[in-house]
Structure 1
């Protein structure tokens, strides 16, 4: 009986010691707050395109960068939680490279992406079409002047405004 009690006491002491050591490790500042400021905020190509957009469109639109889709897009009513969370997670992890907003209301007018359309990013194209938000795909190579950027945005906004609004299924 004494040996069993000694064994239990030794196991308890070992457990407490391991717990204490792990607790100190988890409270280490590097583990508790494992973050640092990202530098640079914009890649050189993103900075170049932002400057181009500001030159060509800054007097008409407020230009926001790196905007999460979930900050702009709402998930419509889905009766079950699992599909709602799946739909929300799909947009919360993605972002628009640039979002042009109305100067007064800050309503989203047009989204701009820096990558060409592909199968990998087809979701974003379909999403923008569904919600009625024009999506323009630009990169510094294809839009070297602010006139070209302005023309691409004007064309997309004009094309979208001539379409009837998409009605959600349901």
Structure 2
């Protein structure tokens, strides 16, 4: 009787353990789909960067540091493994590449200065690794609204070393040259371009006035 009771208790314990493991959230795949891949700040900023740079460039998101740097030749195995392990755990918010060649041009990180913990402090390992690899790194503060011109100026100055050409602001409608008709010259008494008597007198008077005005005297520049 005791053996039967012990066996039943053991069976109950085993079943309870199996049921607890099956109901445990960590077993075997405790995953669910996120509602959004990027934060609103990341999404809005990426749209601005794409508008600022245009179609010649490609913007990549959340790239591991180890994907854009490599261990130099001559580094010891221990130091290389330690550096790679650190680089595997570091991410860049945005990476700018040439669209055709996919050549790496620079990196961007968003910085939250309001104390919300989003890369608020500069990561010395990321900055040092990018500087050693000669990869430009831009840190831009998060704020409610940016302008495309601000982003364009910042990226061009830091990555390309020059300010972008200003976009001309033209008001009104521009008439194409092919639609503009030349003015027909006025014909007077069978002659083209002859001044009328009133215009001739006006021109003669202006010539006389100009002739009476003495030429201005220019003072010598100081040495």
Count matched residues: 147
Q: Describe the SS at the equivalent of 2:49.
A: helix
Q: Cα deviations across residues 59-113 of structure 1 (Å, max 9, x unaligned)?
A: 22100011111111112243233x2221011111111100000111112101000
Q: By percentage of residues, which structure has more helix?
A: 1
| Root-mean-square deviation over aligned CA pairs | 3.0
Query: TM-score w.r.t. structure 2 length?
Result: 0.55
Tell me which residue corresponds to 2:76: 79
Distance 1:26 1:91 in 2: 35
Alignment of 1:18-57 (within 5 A): 30=25, 31-57=27-53
Q: Which has the larger radius of gyration?
A: 2
User: Structure 2 stretches of 5 or more lacking a match?
Assistant: 1-5, 114-118, 162-223
Distance 2:24 2:151 in 1: 45
Tell me which residue corresponds to 1:112: 108
- Report deviation, 1:119: 5.5
Distance 1:68 1:152 in 2: 23
> Using CA pairs below 8 Å that are at least 6 residues apart, which structure has the higher relative contact order?
1
Alignment of 1:1-170 (within 5 A): 30=25, 31-77=27-73, 78-81=75-78, 83-115=79-111, 120-141=122-143, 144-159=146-161
Distance 1:146 1:96 in 2: 21
Does structure 1 conserve the Cα–Cα contact (< 8 Å) formed by 2:65 and 2:126?
no
Query: TM-score w.r.t. structure 1 length?
Result: 0.70
User: Structure 1 stretches of 5 or more lacking a match?
Assistant: 1-9, 160-170
Tell me which residue corresponds to 1:4: none
- Report deviation, 1:120: 4.1
In the superposition, relative to structure 1, how do residues 149 and 142 fare at CA in structure 2: closer, same or farther (>3 Å)? farther
Runs of 4+ in 1 over 3 A off after TM superposition: 17-30, 116-120
Q: Cα deviations across residues 2-44 of structure 1 (Å, max 9, x unaligned)?
A: xxxxxxxx9xxx7xx9889767766768412122223321111
- Report deviation, 1:144: 1.0
- Report deviation, 1:139: 3.5
